[in-house]
């Protein structure tokens, strides 16, 4: 674990993701709550530009932090 001398702590956690891919959650000045980018289920996906989505709190089980 590394400490930022300015006190701007970030927590990076790995979660299981869809299709066997992982999901990374980031928490700023929080040791447990992280957020991630989740796709909007109503939007069409594009292989070049991605898919519209929203940043929201992660709710799955953390694999590691």
Domain residue limits, the chain: 10-64
Which run of H or of E encompasses 18? none
Sheet architecture: strand order including 22-28: 53-57, 35-39, 22-28, 10-16, 62-64
- The per-residue pLDDT for 49 is 74
Residues 16-60 have pLDDT tens digits of 876 778 889 999 887 778 999 888 777 677 777 777 888 999 988
pLDDT of residue 55: 92
Collect all residues with Cβ–Cβ distance below 8 Å to 39 and sequence separation of at least 6. 45, 51, 52, 53
**pLDDT at residue 11 greater than cutoff 70:** yes
């Amino acid at each position: 674990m590394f400490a930022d001398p300015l006190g701007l702590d970030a927590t990076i956690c790995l979660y299981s993701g869809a299709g066997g891919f992982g999901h990374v959650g980031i928490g700023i000045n929080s040791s447990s709550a992280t957020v991630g980018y989740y796709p909007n289920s109503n939007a069409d996906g594009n292989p070049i530009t991605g898919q519209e989505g929203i940043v929201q709190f992660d709710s799955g089980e953390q694999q590691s932090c």
